[in-house]
Chain A
Amino acid sequence: MNNSSIDISSAIERRRRISFGVTLLVVGLVIYLLFGSNTKPGSLTTFGLNLLGSQAIEVSDLVIPALPAVHLMAAIAVFTGAYQLARGVRSTGWLIGILAFTFVFAFLMWAAQDKSFNLTGMLQSSLVRATPIALAALCGVISERAAVINIGIEGIMLMSALVAVVTATVSGSLYVGLVSAIIMGGLVAAFHAFLVIRFKVDQIISGVAINIFGAGATSFISSRFMAHATDKLNNSGTFPIIAIPGLSKIPVLGPVLFENNLIVYLTILLVIVMHIMLFYTPWGLRTRAVGEHPKAADTLGVNVYFMRFVNVTLGGMIAGLGGAYFTIGSVGRFDEIMTAGKGFIGLAAMVFGNWNPIGAYTSSLIFGFADSLQVKLQILRVPIPSEFLLMAPYIVTMIILTGVVGRAIPPAADGQPYEK
């Protein structure tokens, strides 16, 4: 009996191993045929490592012969695939990493052959573009760890974005705008929490209502009042870039990590603070308990409703910060529906990041990368219609949400109202 059960589980292992191996082989072949045959022999790809106007010490650019590099990537993919079929690699993460890296790198080689491509610039813009996604994801993490689903993040961010720019323009202080946006986010989320905790309104319906209201209200205010009074209401300026002395001098890393604006730094700080809070403090222990088994927490005297209410509200404040990023952190004015689904992508990043702050931030970076790649490729005039390129972040979202990359486990009580 024992043996047969081992047979079954090893059969599943084998199926997984084969499917991963075959995928890698196919990717290797695609790289070879698609990019290899379309790359001119002898062409060079230049990766720029310096950013114009940055404080970093200059280093020489990376110049790589395109065709051999594409072939190398194909070879790595094929070799890893063959090794996987023959022996099996334990870590799924490594396999996915190699798969993504070889494909993306070969793709860049092909796309940028005989041209120059600023790598540092793209990494920098990945981090910046990941910021609102990460803030939305962090809002999701803290709410859902306490078992309240908040799909109204998109709406909260839109409203906060508008509030931020208007208050900042009127008061003349970006900090007033920032604080107002955070308060706005907190208020809307508190309203959501009140509805779903006190009145047990369906969490999805309440979230959708917030999204619809957010889109409608901001678009109305924007076109009715702000369009004719841009200078008085909708022209705030943005937070300046703060270069961190010393660290910003490091080549490549300096411009990417240490020359950003306040909101980008705040986001990274929030990731660390939330991680510590969730896993190393009593508040976090109670939050997670409320999300996993609220009844157990209740019998130990933890106030389930209070914990949920406060965490959802805190999440809303984080989403409010994310909203502020769109206006006063990035372009300095409000446009209708300017969040463009970043709130939802943030939720995908939360799922992909397994409801962990650090995981959520890492996956936000992947989305940010997809987003900034798409922009760079348009500049490079790659022979792919720009409409398809624009889809890149959303396609990545869908692939992740289908669970291809392994299924994440949400908090056990996620989305369920608590009845005493």
Chain B
Amino acid sequence: MTNVLELRGITKRFPGVLANDKVDISLREGKILALLGENGAGKSTLMNILYGLYKPDEGKIFVRGREVEIEGPNDAISQGIGMVHQHFMLVPVMTVTENVMLGIEPVRGGVFLDREKVAKRIKEISDQYGLEVDPHAYIKDLPVGIQQRVEIIKVLYRAADILILDEPTAVLTPQEVEGLFKIIETLIKGGKSIIFITHKLKEVLAIADDITVLRLGTVVGSIKPQDATSEILATMMVGRDVSLVVQKGPAKPAEPVLVVENLYVRNERQHLTVQGVSFNVRKGEILGVAGVQGNGQTELVYALTGLLPLESGSIHLLDEPIHRATPRDILERGVAHIPEDRQRHGLILTFPIHDNLMLCTYYKDPFAKGISLQPVSIFKNAEELVEQYDVRTPSIYLNAGTLSGGNQQKVIVAREFSRPIELLIASQPTRGLDVGSIEYIHKQIIKKRDEGAGVLLVSSELDEILALSDRIAVMYKGRIMDILDADKTSKEQLGLLMAGVHPAESSRK
């Protein structure tokens, strides 16, 4: 068995960080290598080096046994290396054909784009690998799963035989993931070799031929899927034993704390992205909102926290309407918010940690008296919270931007949980965090529930929703498809709902 691709001793330093430290990986021809690691383990840096977007400080790259220099994407492409990026590199206002041909456009009459020729080639590739797509459709009109196909076609159009898939399942529904796995099988049969980057253990076990685990920029080890289990892989990834199951007792739901009726919300671009949503959250329970990203969850949370105005409908918090309440008014009534984009809405990165820890209540005693802030109580508050919520930082006087993602999130959790709350709105609370921080934040959310707060948990990670929620609402295209009891549902059922299909309907067909 030959290695089609080998990286030897790759080292990449960024200011203050060693992103890759003497990394060796090898990809066998016609096989799938899973590159497993937490966010920040150096997977993406490594692949960007391979694709020529970064230059390594040390190390060598061998393609089919020959050492190669990769100076930019063009070099990678000419070596037959193609990359499907985690954030799709597609121009939304252009057609599939235009996106595929960009950079290597065939011309007619010397200067004019030959769209037809490319469209024909796309059809051929579609047929060969089962990647059905309309070459003349605009990207902005296509669902995410199809957009991913376009990305794969883009790579195949450039005749790549080494494919790098960077977190390809992050934005897909479970059904779309299955579809992707089928496509990957066809690709392998067609003689391609694939590097599959992920942090999801189950996917690795399902699909990989070889597994290489990265941690903090170094290769921890390689293992065959038949020798591995989720627990072994998790331990390799994190470097210590972790519990993958969230411990929680049964919920004791009481009266509703949040009642939403027939809510319509427009996003900043004036599209109606929440369309007639009704639900309630009771004290002492966690309502999970599942759904593929971009189905109105963001706008729903913005409306509930006063960041976007309502188009119509009503929101009641503890029987009082909060339709026109300002964000401050809402948080003073006992709503805590862990925002989706922690760096934009959760923290002021250029402010010190101690100031970030009092942002909600800075104008009140003990942080302010009259018009002046009270540094002594601000520092004291910060010292206590950093201690209590295990924020790992050398000092409370450092800027919040210097913290790692997990610790930034802990600062937000500390601030929001340290005041008396009735309702917790947590939007993607663990996105991009390491396993240790995820464990911690999950425990804190359960703790709040057990103290009697209502929790609205919005997440696009189905595993997280299933692990924490007592009831689950599934959002699709701005509507709630259904609200289910968490212990009476399955991943498959939720997956169908996330794709906009009622399981009852599909079985009737």
Specify whether A and B are partners.
Answer: yes
Instruction: Report which A residues bind B (CB closer than 8 A).
Output: 1, 4-5, 8-9, 280-282, 285-286, 288-289, 292-293, 295-302, 412, 420
**B90:A296 contact, CB within 8 angstroms:** yes
Among B106-114, B217-225, B237-245, which stretch is in contact with chain A?
Answer: B106-114
Where chain B touches its partner, the secondary structure class is mixed
Interface contacts (Cβ under 8 Å), in number, total 84
* CA gap between A420 and B92 in the complex, in Å: 20
**B105:A282 contact, CB within 8 angstroms:** yes
B45 CB to nearest A CB, Å: 13
Q: What are 7 pairs between A and B in contact, CB < 8 Å? A: A4-B262, A281-B113, A288-B91, A296-B91, A299-B89, A300-B104, A302-B103
B79 CB to nearest A CB, Å: 12
Question: Which residues of chain A are near B90, meaning CB under 8 Å?
Answer: 293, 296
In-complex Cβ contact of B94 among A4, A9, A292 (8 A) = A292
* CA gap between A297 and B272 in the complex, in Å: 31
Question: Which residues of chain B are near A286, meaning CB under 8 Å?
Answer: 102-103
Contacts A282-B111, A298-B53 known; 9 new A-B pairs at CB < 8 A:
A1-B276, A9-B272, A280-B113, A281-B112, A292-B93, A296-B89, A301-B77, A301-B104, A412-B93
The reply to whether the CB of B51 lies closer than 8 angstroms to some CB of chain A is yes
Question: Which residues of chain B are near A297, meaning CB under 8 Å?
Answer: 91, 102-103
**B112:A4 contact, CB within 8 angstroms:** no
Question: Which residues of chain A are near B99, meaning CB under 8 Å?
Answer: 296
Instruction: Report which B residues bind A (CB closer than 8 A).
Output: 51, 53, 72-74, 77, 83, 85, 89-94, 98-99, 101-105, 107, 111-113, 154, 262, 264, 272, 275-276, 311-312, 478-479
**B94:A299 contact, CB within 8 angstroms:** no
**B312:A301 contact, CB within 8 angstroms:** no
* CA gap between A280 and B114 in the complex, in Å: 9
B119 CB to nearest A CB, Å: 14
A415 CB to nearest B CB, Å: 17
Question: Which residues of chain B are near A292, meaning CB under 8 Å?
Answer: 91-94
In-complex Cβ contact of A295 among B77, B89, B102, B312 (8 A) = B89
Known: A5-B272, A8-B272, A285-B98. A299 touches B53 (CB 8 A): yes
Question: Which residues of chain A are near B51, meaning CB under 8 Å?
Answer: 299
* CA gap between A365 and B219 in the complex, in Å: 65
**B102:A300 contact, CB within 8 angstroms:** yes
**B93:A296 contact, CB within 8 angstroms:** no
B236 CB to nearest A CB, Å: 30
Question: Which residues of chain B are near A296, meaning CB under 8 Å?
Answer: 89-91, 99, 102
* CA gap between A412 and B90 in the complex, in Å: 12
* CA gap between A412 and B269 in the complex, in Å: 13
**B73:A8 contact, CB within 8 angstroms:** no
* CA gap between A4 and B313 in the complex, in Å: 11
A301 CB to nearest B CB, Å: 4
In-complex Cβ contact of B85 among A9, A285, A299, A302 (8 A) = A299
**B72:A301 contact, CB within 8 angstroms:** yes
Most chain B CB within a 10 A radius of its CB, from A9, A280, A300: A300
* CA gap between A286 and B107 in the complex, in Å: 14
**B74:A301 contact, CB within 8 angstroms:** yes
A47 CB to nearest B CB, Å: 43
B197 CB to nearest A CB, Å: 16
Question: Which residues of chain A are near B272, meaning CB under 8 Å?
Answer: 5, 8-9
Most chain B CB within a 10 A radius of its CB, from A4, A297, A301: A301
Sorted nearest first, the 8 A-B pairs with minimum C-beta distance are: A300-B103, A296-B89, A282-B105, A301-B74, A5-B275, A293-B91, A301-B73, A292-B91
